[in-house]
């Protein structure tokens, strides 16, 4: 019953390729655990959990670890994107584009010039 309630979370975990995943149901509580690649992916899972069960769901226990804590995420540039648009997506603030630029000076020479298919590091702030 509880598993059905959180099926969207489980589906998202599969889509994000969460490693070492385990799901069990015990006394009306769903227990999930696994390892997300980045903190951003963990945050997405928690957002989905809170969307379904509220800020502090009493029918779910989640233990989600992060494999790579040195970065927030990796982003593959899509056509039409800019560093400020990417910063707004990950941080909610387009002016944080400078942090993304600084983290990628090995491949970026100008913050106004990025190209589709470049893989950018999104740093922890």
Q: What pLDDT score was predicted for residue 1? A: 82
pLDDT, tens digit (0-9, with 9 covering 90-100), for 34-72? 999 999 999 999 999 999 999 989 999 999 999 999 999
Specify whether the CB–CB gap between 13 and 47 falls below 8 A.
no
The pLDDT tens digits of the residues spanning 65-76 come to: 999 999 999 999
Q: What is the C-alpha separation between 94 and 86, in angstroms, rounded?
A: 7
Across 6-16, average pLDDT: 96
23 in Cβ contact with 30 (< 8 Å):
yes
């Amino acid at each position: 019953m509880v598993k059905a309630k959180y099926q969207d979370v489980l589906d998202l975990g599969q889509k994000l390729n969460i490693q070492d995943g385990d799901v069990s149901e015990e006394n009306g509580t769903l227990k999930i655990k696994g390892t997300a690649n980045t903190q951003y992916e963990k945050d997405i899972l928690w957002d989905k959990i809170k969307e379904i069960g509220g800020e502090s769901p009493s029918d779910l226990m989640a233990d989600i670890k992060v494999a790579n804590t040195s970065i927030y995420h990796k982003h593959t540039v899509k056509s039409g994107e800019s560093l400020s648009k990417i910063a707004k997506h990950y941080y909610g603030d387009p002016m944080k584009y400078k942090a993304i630029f600084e983290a990628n000076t090995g491949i970026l020479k100008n913050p106004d010039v990025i190209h589709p298919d470049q893989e950018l590091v999104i740093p922890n702030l």
